């Protein structure tokens, strides 16, 4: 808790009233009567009480998985909209949207377990379904720290970022290639999505690192990072330890790995990342994932990272921009003028829910699996 005190003082200095609450205080009922079947639900009920009694708008969950085994410093929730694209399947994925979606459509507590079987956000999971609202009622971010040093590093980065200005905050680095080989439209989907992002970032100096231009390389990426950028858009493929993509209709991989993050230092010019890719923010592993490794890095990295905790889906060809992760990617950047980061991210989710028919498991999984590693009330503008 003491590691968060400088961040509390910093945010209150700029007019955001802040309270630090420990899990012991939540479970012990210090502020509100404890409710919930397990620790995650107790935290969610606490957020509900805090909305109704304190009027909170932003929640920062501080803590991830412990190093040695799958035990959690701060609770998590798995969702179960199960993949139907063999052999690409996974049995559940992490969803922090659970902690943001407090109320259902009727204003009641949204349990995400309406059939009461202890399995959450089921969508045709062994033929079972839960009624989930999905609309966020509070802006939630997470710092999946494993120790006090990581937290201290990130808190210092946030404070320095919000104090700093510079022309580098009008730059954006857009990385892409051919995500879906041999699609019927014969395009490079990642580059096409980068173009759509550049259209909404019309006042930015956009740097295109593309396989088609032979500009996407580890060297070029870090050279541009060292110049600084407000945003980085990664549109391609991912894993917990890398992001990469293809040249046109080629099985060659070009990208960035955890080793690069450990090796390169880009100082205090820290971007906000959005990764349209699988698993870049899968934080339930023994080692720390790609997205969090950027955020926790001392001497560089990122100020925040938005990515998927599971298998992420998109269409091939021009349809890649019309739904699934490609739509979410564009909508996040469309909200770039929001004052706070959490508003931009969750506005993208709300746009998806309002404009895309939620009639398939892929739609549910898309909005549930993307998470924000960073402060939701980070002042972007």
Domain layout of the chain by residue ranges: 2-139, 164-372
Domain 164-372: CATH class, spelled out: alpha beta
Question: Within the chain, which residues score under 70 in pLDDT?
Answer: none
- The pLDDT value recorded for residue 85 is 82
Cβ atoms of 169 and 201 closer than 8 Å: no
- The pLDDT value recorded for residue 333 is 99
Q: Radius of gyration over alpha carbons of the chain, in Å? A: 20
How big is the CA angle at 37 (ends 33 and 40), to the nearest 5 degrees?
Answer: 85
CA distance 218 to 220: 6
Dihedral angle, C-alpha 11, 349, 118, 50, nearest 10 °: 30
CA distance 192 to 180: 12
- The pLDDT value recorded for residue 378 is 98
Let me know if 10 is exposed, middle or buried by CB neighbors in 10 A (0-12, 13-18, 19+). middle
* Number of neighbouring beta carbons within 10 Å of residue 198: 17
CA distance 269 to 271: 7
Closest CA to 373 of 297, 285, 299, 303: 303
Collapsed DSSP state (helix, strand, coil) of residue 245: strand
- The pLDDT value recorded for residue 89 is 83
102-124 pLDDT, tens digit per residue, is 999 999 999 999 999 999 999 99
Asked if the bond preceding 87 is cis, omega within 30° of 0, the reply is yes
Collapsed DSSP state (helix, strand, coil) of residue 239: strand
Residue with the two structure tokens 């009461």:
116
Beta-carbon-side half-sphere exposure of residue 63 (alpha carbons within 13 Å)? 15
- The pLDDT value recorded for residue 88 is 80
């Amino acid at each position: 808790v003491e590691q968060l005190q400088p961040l509390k003082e910093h945010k209150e200095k700029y007019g955001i009233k802040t309270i630090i609450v420990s899990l012991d205080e939540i479970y012990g009922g210090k502020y509100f009567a404890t409710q919930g079947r397990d620790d995650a639900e107790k935290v969610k009920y606490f957020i509900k009480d805090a909305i109704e009694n304190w009027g909170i708008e932003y929640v920062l969950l501080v803590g991830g998985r412990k190093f040695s085994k799958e035990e959690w410093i701060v609770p998590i929730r798995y969702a179960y909209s199960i993949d139907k694209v063999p052999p690409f399947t996974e049995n559940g994925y992490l969803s922090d949207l659970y902690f943001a979606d407090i109320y259902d459509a009727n204003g009641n507590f949204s349990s995400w377990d309406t059939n009461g079987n202890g399995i959450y956000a089921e969508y045709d999971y062994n033929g079972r379904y839960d009624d989930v609202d999905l609309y966020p009622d509070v802006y939630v971010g997470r710092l999946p720290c494993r120790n006090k040093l990581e937290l201290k590093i990130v808190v210092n980065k946030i404070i320095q970022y919000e104090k700093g200005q510079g022309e580098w905050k009008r730059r954006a680095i857009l990385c892409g290639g051919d995500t879906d080989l041999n699609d019927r439209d014969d395009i490079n989907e990642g580059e096409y999505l980068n173009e759509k992002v550049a259209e909404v970032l019309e006042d930015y100096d956009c740097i295109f690192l593309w396989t088609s231009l032979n500009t996407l390389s580890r060297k070029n990426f870090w050279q541009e990072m060292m110049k600084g950028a407000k945003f980085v858009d990664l549109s391609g493929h991912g894993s917990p330890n890398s992001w990469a993509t293809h040249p046109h209709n080629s099985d060659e991989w070009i990208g960035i790995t955890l080793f690069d993050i450990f090796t390169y230092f880009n100082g205090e010019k820290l971007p906000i990342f959005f990764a349209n890719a699988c698993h870049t923010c899968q934080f339930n592993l023994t080692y720390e994932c790609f997205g969090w490794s950027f955020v926790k890095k001392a001497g560089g990295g990122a100020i925040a990272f938005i990515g998927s905790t599971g298998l992420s889906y998109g269409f091939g060809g021009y349809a890649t921009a019309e739904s699934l992760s490609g739509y979410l990617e564009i909508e996040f950047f469309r909200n770039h003028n929001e004052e706070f980061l959490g508003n931009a991210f969750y506005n993208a989710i709300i746009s998806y829910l309002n404009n895309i028919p939620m009639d398939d498991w892929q739609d549910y999984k898309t909005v549930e699996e993307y998470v924000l590693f960073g402060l939701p009330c980070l002042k972007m503008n």
